[in-house]
Amino acid sequence: MAKGCDVRGMMLEIYGRAEGLCKGRAGSMHIADLDVGMLGANGIVGGGAPQAVGAALAAKMDGKGRVGIAFSGDGACNQGTTFEAMNMAVVTKAPAIFVFENNHYSEHTGVEYAVGTSLDIASRAEAFGMKVWRANGCDFFDTYEQFRDLLEYVRAGHGPAAIELDTERFYGHFEGDPQRYRGPGELDRIRDERDCLKAFRKTVTEAGLLAEAEMDAIDAEVHALIDAVVAEARAAADPDPATVADDVYAEYY
């Protein structure tokens, strides 16, 4: 959605409906919207990095100032595909950005058990020769400012770069995850201290950028939008089985 994906089309796709962004074929795991440059979510841990480097190489060749961005976490940073993609990006000086969202857990395992550089994942990108940034991923403004500088650097032709976002996750990787791998009171603590939406509201209201009533109105508008598209998606038509072979082959020649 941050890239401008159509919310209605996304929800229809998540429900596997014919009018979804990918005609109901992608679902939630592989959803894409090429029209706005969202090349697709990836159901394989670490699978997005090579895809982003390929897009970055294409961007370098077409000269339009675009970049390829790979979002991954503390789990994907251990995958060989991520290392290979970082190396390829450096070798080709591709305008690629590697975003490591360090929320301190992969599916069930804490970073201190699985990641040798658990407190500094960005140093892995530094080892490949990249310039790196670090930001508080629970702070919208810090993340925005750091990423703005990083984007300018990459677009200026300096090659790939990386940023590590120190953040949290409140939910598991699947519905019903009891999160027993967390310490006592940990979830309550991070919800209270590191909720990015609470922090954003506090910052903008205290700075006088938006009033509480304006924030409440935005929240209500978003809830109404989501309720509407969910209701539409539940009632929408499934794909016609007769179209099952559509889009199997590219028709560019």
Superfamily of domain 45-186: Thiamin diphosphate (ThDP)-binding fold, Pyr/PP domains (3.40.50.970)
For residues 37 and 67, what is the distance between their CA atoms, to the nearest angstrom? 10
Checking if the pLDDT of 138 tops 90, the result is yes
Place of tokens 């099952």: 244
Higher pLDDT, 187 or 114: 187
Which among 253, 251, 252, 242 has a CA at the least distance from the CA of 23? 242
pLDDT of residue 114: 86
Q: What is the pLDDT of residues 72-121, one digit of tens each?
A: 998 899 999 999 999 999 999 999 999 999 999 988 899 988 888 667 89
pTM, to two decimals = 0.92
Place of tokens 């519905």: 175
pLDDT of residue 228: 98
For residues 192 and 162, what is the distance between their CA atoms, to the nearest angstrom? 29
pLDDT of residue 233: 98
The percentage of the chain sitting over the pLDDT mark of 70, rounded to a whole number, equals 98
pLDDT of residue 239: 96
CB 67 within 8 A of CB 95: yes
For residues 15 and 221, what is the distance between their CA atoms, to the nearest angstrom? 22
Q: What is the pLDDT of residues 173-184, one digit of tens each?
A: 888 899 999 999
